[in-house]
């Protein structure tokens, strides 16, 4: 049995030799910027009705009513989320990580009705009325 195990010691040394190495700065995927795309969405009706401090004064400059899409990104350093119009470049930001969550926002959250109750109510509405004989 000893003759069969002679190769285990060198193999274990090779495999375990790299366990104590520090992570190299260049390891992992290349970082191209701090903003990461979440998605592109249609500009809803309320987007054009936002009260904004100033719009471009040039006659041909796009206004928020001209925005067709909203581009949403997250700042990977701060967690800030930005929603920006595609033609105006006007952005709205949100950062829920700047303050602590209120107790009612922490899981488990309180529900007005549970999923099973909503399904049962929907099923009750779909049943045909009972016929009397």
C-alpha dist (Å) from residue 113 to 48, 116, 123: 35, 8, 15
pLDDT of residue 51: 86
Separation CA 78–CA 3 (nearest Å): 58
pLDDT for residue 126: 83
Other CB atoms within 10 A of residue 22 CB: 6
- Give 10-54 pLDDT, tens digit per residue: 544 444 455 555 545 556 566 677 888 999 999 998 998 888 877
Closest CA to 49 of 59, 61, 64, 60: 64
Sheet of strand 35-42, all strands in order from the earlier edge strand to the far edge: 35-42, 69-75, 81-85, 91-94
pTM of the model: 0.54
Residue-wise pLDDT tens digits, 59-98? 899 999 999 999 999 998 888 999 999 999 999 999 877 8
Judged against a pLDDT cut of 90, whether residue 117 lies above it is answered with yes
**Which of 90, 92, 36 lies closest to 67 in space, CA to CA?**
90
């Amino acid at each position: 049995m000893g003759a069969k195990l002679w190769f285990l010691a060198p193999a274990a040394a090779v495999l375990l030799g790299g366990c104590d190495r520090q992570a190299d700065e260049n390891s992992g995927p290349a970082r191209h910027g701090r903003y990461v795309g979440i998605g592109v969405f249609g500009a809803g009706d309320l987007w054009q009705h936002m009260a904004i401090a100033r719009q471009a004064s040039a006659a041909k400059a796009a206004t928020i009513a001209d925005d067709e899409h909203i581009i949403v990104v997250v700042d990977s350093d701060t967690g800030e989320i930005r929603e920006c119009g595609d033609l105006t470049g006007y952005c709205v930001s949100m950062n829920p990580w700047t303050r602590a969550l209120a107790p009612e926002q922490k899981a488990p959250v309180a529900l007005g009705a549970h999923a099973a109750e909503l399904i049962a109510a929907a099923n009750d509405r779909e049943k045909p009325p009972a016929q009397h004989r």
